[in-house]
Amino acid sequence: MPQISVRGLQMPSSPIRKLAPLAEAAKRDGVKIYHLNIGQPDLPTPRQGLEALKQVDRTTLEYSPSEGYLSLREKLVGYYHKFGIEVRPDEIIVTAGGSEAILLSFLACLNPGDEMLMTEPGYANYISFAVTAGINVKTVTSTIEEGFALPPVEAFEEAITPKTRAILLCNPNNPTGYVYSPQELYRIKEIVEKHDLYLFSDEVYREFVYTDEPYLSAMSLGIDENVILIDSVSKRYSECGIRIGMIVTHNRLVRDTVMKYCQARLSPPLLGQIVAEASIEGTEDYTRACFEEYKARRDFFIKGLNSIPGVFSPMPHGAFYTVVSLPVADAEDFCRWCLTDFRLDGETVMMAPADGFYRHPDLGRNQVRMAYVLKKEDLQRSLLILRSALKAYNRR
């Protein structure tokens, strides 16, 4: 039997999905599971998007252009303008979700062996895609005690080596919910300019910022040739399944190189583009309602978490995740146990062990990532289950 690739062996399992088989087994036993592990919103997709599907009057579901439909990219120009991001349609490349946007950006910009800096805890799939592309991820640690604020510039400077070619930011942050202030971003800009780095800026949660401070996109920092914006409609329109994301950059060489990869994979999903395009305009009320809903869920959920003995969550100011410390030594073991052993009236919770979001093997062992994308009653029930589970687990 031929051997698996070394990189395949090195590829980490998703901390968000790796416990899925245990959840499947529990479901087969009739157990109801509250999914706090994954950012799969239960909010409806905009009516306009769903209706666009019913209106599809094509007879052939053909390839779209490799860069995505112009009509979609033109609508995105208007969307970005509202956030102070000024781009032309040809500066936008449509991808199969934010996931493909990340991978193709890495492939086009970085060589195997290059180093990329990101904060930890960080979205685990960045590391997966970095492994895929042979890139070495170095992390600068943000701590739960400081509410996962951006580490000081000095920490980044210390981590930079001659091999460092990029910094990756997720703002608002998944998994911590932290929103970088303009001051913090301008400090990052200094480092990026000084060392002539790429700045990958994943801003898929820009719609969900709960502070009054103005949101600043990396695209507005004035370092046009360095910034690669990673985006996706998945979260803002509850359209995770349609797999529509985008790479946006003023750097023409990067675009031309990304396009070679895009042509090899032929085209992004056609039907998703139709839904996404219909969701962009006339959905201001929808967006506002989603924002209010997530804000209310956040307020309720974080308060509830902190009322459980030994549990601590900072207040996240954006996105819809939080990293929470639990009164357990091994959060992954606890997460597994919740799926295999614990039931409260036939129900349990699924969480993502946070160690998969850290690079340093000792960090985050007692932490989990939770997404507050469920409706309030479900969050309430989840809190009750978590409280009981912790009590039972620590009493074993």
Name the one residue in this structure whose structure tokens are 């549990």. Answer: 311
How many chain residues interact with a copy of itself (CB under 8 A)? 84
Burial environment of residue 6 by CB neighbours within 10 A (0 to 12, 13 to 18, 19 or more): exposed
Strand 321-325 with 367-371, pairing: antiparallel
165 sits near a copy of itself (criterion: CB under 8 A) = yes
Binding flags for a copy of itself, 305-344, as an x/- string (CB under 8 A): ----------------------------------------
Q: Which is nearer to a copy of itself, 207 or 239 (CB)?
A: 239
For residue 334, give the amino acid letter.
F
Region of 195-203, 285-293, 321-329, 383-391 interacting with a copy of itself (CB under 8 A): 195-203
How far is Cα of residue 259 from the mean position of the Cα atoms in its chain?
23
222 sits near a copy of itself (criterion: CB under 8 A) = no
Residues 347-386 that bind a copy of itself (CB under 8 A): none
H or E segment and range at residue 232: strand 227-232
**Is the N-terminal amide bond of 121 cis, ω within 30° of 0?**
yes
Name the one residue in this structure whose structure tokens are 């087969």. Answer: 28
Minimal distance, residue 121 CB to a copy of itself, in Å: 17
Could you give the strand order of the β-sheet that contains 198-202, starting from the edge strand earlier in sequence?
92-96, 244-248, 227-232, 198-202, 164-170, 115-120, 136-141
Among 134, 147, 336, 384, binds a copy of itself (CB under 8 A): 134
241 sits near a copy of itself (criterion: CB under 8 A) = yes
Minimal distance, residue 308 CB to a copy of itself, in Å: 28
Minimal distance, residue 388 CB to a copy of itself, in Å: 28
DSSP string, 198-219: EEEEE-TTTT-B-SSSPP--GG
Among 33, 92, 108, 117, binds a copy of itself (CB under 8 A): 108
Q: Which is nearer to a copy of itself, 121 or 314 (CB)?
A: 121
Q: Which is nearer to a copy of itself, 158 or 225 (CB)?
A: 225
Secondary-structure percent of the chain, ordered helix, strand, coil, rounded to 5: 40, 15, 40
Residue count (the chain): 396
Read off the DSSP letter of residue 311. Answer: -
Minimal distance, residue 171 CB to a copy of itself, in Å: 20
CA 233 – CA 96 distance, rounded (Å): 11
Residues 1-60 that bind a copy of itself (CB under 8 A): 1-2, 4-9, 11-14, 16-18, 20, 38, 40-45, 49-50, 53-54, 56, 58-60
SS3 at position 55: coil
For residue 157, give the amino acid letter.
E
Binding flags for a copy of itself, 269-288, as an x/- string (CB under 8 A): xxxx--x-------------
Q: Which is nearer to a copy of itself, 250 or 343 (CB)?
A: 250
Minimal distance, residue 63 CB to a copy of itself, in Å: 5
Minimal distance, residue 211 CB to a copy of itself, in Å: 27
261 sits near a copy of itself (criterion: CB under 8 A) = yes
